[in-house]
Amino acid sequence: MLKYITSIFAILVCSVSFAQITEVEKAKANDTIPKLDTFPLRIGFDISKPIRMFLEDDYQGFEVAADFRLTRKFYIAAEFGSEKKTVDEAQINFTTQGSFAKIGFDFNAYENWFGMENAIVVGMRYGYSSHKQTLNSYTNYQTNQHVDATSVLTQTPGTEFSSLNGHWIEVVAGIKAEVLNNIYMGFSVRLNRLMSTKEPENFQNLFIPGFNKVTTDNNVGAGFNYTISYSIPIYKKARKKKVEEEEKPTLE
């Protein structure tokens, strides 16, 4: 009986020892498996424009936004869309309609936990628009009511100016956060600097799709977008481990 009990005890000890060795080997194996960074394509749309369409009768527009991760911190980013805006001011009423595209990069300044893709971004874009303007109506500005005003505009109301464009540089700052699995909400502000523009004869580009309002004495504009997007994993890549050399203590 004692021999039988001793044999069973020996078998249990060996089993426990083998289980411990197996768990250690599994842990070591997991340590040797490289961590994989996901390189996704995020694509979505700007929900601020439909809200603006609901609040403003004289505005229509949409924008699609996308970014793709190139490195751990840098993303290539782009937006494209169209806008139609009627501006009714004291002296003039006109409608601008056209499309725009922006392309550039984002830098993610946020340190994510492994597997997360949240972002605090700063970046730049090059923007281009192709649009047309229609002069709906205008009135002459008079400083002297006793003198007939002479218009500086030679076009008649209803004149359409086509083949117009604009080129600008845009500085971007914003955030993107995962609210559901692979679904991200984002907000960004834009500071624009108009570089060049093709204007109609004896008229101006007072509104440029994608850029926003243009003033006669200032080429700087501003804007924002509020996006909802879906992340599509494209491929995964092993993260490179940083090898840190340990300093060995010296014996004195």
By the 8 A CB rule, do 80 and 101 touch?
yes
pTM beyond 0.85, yes or no: no
By the 8 A CB rule, do 184 and 232 touch?
no
Bigger pLDDT: 113 vs 221: 221
By the 8 A CB rule, do 224 and 187 touch?
yes
Is the pLDDT reported for residue 12 higher than 70? Answer: no
For residue 234, what pLDDT band results from cuts at 50, 70 and 90?
Answer: confident
Could you tell me the two tokens for 183?
A: 């679904």
Tell me the percentage of the chain whose pLDDT exceeds 70.
73
Domains observed in the chain: 37-238 (2.40.160.20)
Block residue for tokens 């929900």 = 47
Residue 229: count of CB within 10 angstroms of its CB? 21
Using DSSP's 3-state secondary structure scheme, residue 205 falls into coil
The predicted model gives 208-228 an average pLDDT of 88
In whole angstroms, what is the distance from residue 222 CA to residue 212 CA?
Answer: 7
By the 8 A CB rule, do 136 and 152 touch?
no
Is the pLDDT reported for residue 247 higher than 60? Answer: no
Using only C-alpha atoms, what is the Rg of the chain? 31
Strand partners, 99: 82, 130
The predicted model gives 92-107 an average pLDDT of 95
In whole angstroms, what is the distance from residue 81 CA to residue 101 CA?
Answer: 7
Q: Is 177 exposed, middle or buried (0-12, 13-18, 19+ CB in 10 A)?
A: middle
The total number of residues written for the chain in this structure: 252
Over residues 139-184, the pLDDT tens digits come to: 765 554 444 444 455 567 778 889 999 999 999 999 999 999 999 9
Could you tell me the two tokens for 104?
A: 């550039």
The predicted model gives 54-64 an average pLDDT of 95
Q: What is the pLDDT of residue 245?
A: 42
How crowded is the C-beta side of 191, counted as CA atoms within 13 Å? 5
